[in-house]
Copies of this chain bind each other. A is one copy, B any other.
């Protein structure tokens, strides 16, 4: 996919299958390559956030020659299209998932436990940020650090 292609308006991207995404890729000048398809197959199947390395392993189980740098490049392209989102759940590598599945996290700094956080809990924070700073928050990107019941 060529760099100059503009990203779509956030929230306007709609897809339900790998083929939908491939059509989207094609519509924006990209090509329906096999490595791209396999990566999407994995992302649609696991329905979880995986690191680039984990994704590469899963992809290579089906297409051994796909290089990790190709995975990174495809992930970047798919993020530009609004199909994929990445998040940072701690000090390690970023994790990637289908954008519609993104959600917020709490991470315990003691034991590393990860818990999903309902978006509703961010409502008042989001309203304050919007009303007083004009800022639209995305609570999914960075996890919220803290202490779980056992560690605090």
Contact = CB atoms under 8 A, between A and B. Distances in A.
Contact of A125 (B88, B125, B133, B149): B125
A133 B145 contact: no
A128 interface: yes
A106 B133 contact: yes
Contacts of A115: 133, 135
- For A118, A139, A146, A149, the residue with the greatest tally of chain B CB atoms inside 10 Å of its CB is A146
B142 A88 contact: yes
B142 A144 contact: yes
Interface string A85-128: 00010000000000000000010110000010110011111001
Contact of A121 (B109, B121, B124, B141): B124
Given A88-B88, A134-B149, A148-B135, A129 B106 contact: yes
Secondary structure of the A contact surface, majority rule = mixed
Given A106-B129, A121-B129, A129-B117, A141 B145 contact: yes
Contact of A146 (B117, B123, B136, B147): B136
A105 to B, nearest CB: 10
B121 A147 contact: no
A80 to B, nearest CB: 13
Nearest to A89: B142
Given A117-B129, A124-B124, A129-B117, A142 B145 contact: yes
Contacts of A144: 125, 129, 137-139, 141-142
